[in-house]
Amino acid sequence: MVVGALSYKKYRAHTESKIASNNCDTLEQRQTISLSLWLQPRQQRTYIAPHQKSGMDERLERALREKLRTIGREFERTRNAYSAGKNASATAALPTDAEGRAKLVCRRHAEKRAVKLDEANRPACFDPEHTDCVGCVEDIQNGRIETWE
């Protein structure tokens, strides 16, 4: 008789050792321990032969690798499209004058200005060493720059 992963002999020896370690004197105590050991869940082990294992692992690895590459490519395309759309919408939402200049409120000088933006969405008056100018460019990219009509 096989009990889970243990043979009956091993199960019986295990039960006897448990009964002895708990100092069980009565038959009822022995039966209780025996029953509790019998009802404990047993581990089920699946044996995979070596010749089956390598082929399955290679196929699974290849399938997972292909799927991950597909997901990675899709993610990259989505990220590029999102950033392109975000940059385009940030400058497209800015009000412009008749000459195509963006109508911004300059943080550095606290005045209304109509300025041309370069390809990096920086105003012509941009100074990379001034914190107000850097903040202005960040606000333009995030679409929260103060404008005027």
Over its length of 149 residues, how does the chain's per-residue pLDDT go in tens digits? 444 555 667 766 766 776 666 666 677 776 776 666 656 655 555 655 555 555 567 888 889 999 999 999 999 999 988 877 776 666 667 888 889 898 999 888 889 999 998 888 889 889 999 999 999 988 888 878 888 88
Domain boundaries, the chain: 7-39, 93-142
The whole-angstrom separation of Cα 62 and Cα 51 is: 18
Which pLDDT belongs to residue 74? Answer: 95
Which pLDDT belongs to residue 94? Answer: 83
What is the helix (H) or strand (E) element at residue 133, kind and residue range? helix 131-142
Q: What value does the mean pLDDT of the chain take?
A: 77
Residue owning tokens 């100074």:
127
